[in-house]
């Protein structure tokens, strides 16, 4: 017996958009991790990472922007639920050989619905902030590979991106 095809949760039986009703769900521990990359030319990367230059300021600004974005996710994405975030963390890894910055955002809550959108929004806004602060040195900066890496909690349980 084959399993049914997955459905789009934000469409009702007639195909109209709807917010998913989570009222009957119980609060559970939820976590999501998203990642992405900001790639730039060698000159811009050199300016960003040079001793005494703006790396700390750029990455700290991006971190604050990411936290604010996760907290405002429901204001940006129409059918997202407002939810109480217990934690938003953002880490950066410098990839010198690629002239890139890897962004990794983690969100946690104890609620009825997951935090995947909050983690991906945080990651995206961190990357956009890095772009904004470095664009004077490279207009061709590329933001790439924004994606969910891991989620846990709720009815669907745990999921991890396979390499």
Angle at 153 between CA 16 and CA 80, to 5 degrees: 30
Q: Which of 21, 27, 97, 132 is catalytic?
A: 132
Q: How many CA atoms lie within 13 A of 25 on its CB side?
A: 16
Where in the chain are the domains?
Answer: 28-153
pLDDT in the model for residue 56: 84
Architecture of domain 28-153: 2-Layer Sandwich (3.30)
Instruction: Report pTM.
Output: 0.88
Which token pair is 147?
A: 């994606």
pLDDT in the model for residue 71: 97
User: 87-140 pLDDT, tens per residue?
Assistant: 999 999 999 999 999 999 999 999 998 899 999 999 999 999 999 999 999 999
Which token pair is 120?
A: 């991906």
Q: Is 132 a catalytic residue?
A: yes
pLDDT in the model for residue 47: 92
């Amino acid at each position: 017996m084959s399993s049914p095809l997955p459905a789009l949760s934000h469409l009702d039986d007639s195909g109209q958009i709807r917010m998913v009703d989570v009222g009957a769900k119980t609060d559970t521990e939820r976590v999501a991790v998203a990642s992405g990359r900001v790639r730039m030319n060698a000159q811009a990367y050199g300016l960003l990472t040079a001793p005494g230059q703006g790396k700390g300021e750029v990455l700290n600004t991006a971190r604050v922007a990411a936290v604010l974005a996760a907290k405002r996710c429901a204001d940006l994405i129409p059918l997202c639920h407002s939810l109480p975030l217990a934690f938003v963390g953002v880490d950066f890894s410098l990839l010198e050989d690629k002239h890139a910055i890897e962004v990794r955002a983690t969100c946690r809550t104890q609620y009825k619905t997951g935090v995947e959108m909050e983690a991906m929004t945080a990651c995206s806004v961190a990357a956009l902030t890095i772009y904004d602060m470095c664009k004077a040195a490279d207009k061709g900066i590329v933001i790439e590979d924004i994606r969910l890496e891991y989620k846990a909690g709720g009815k669907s349980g745990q999921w991890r991106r396979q390499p």
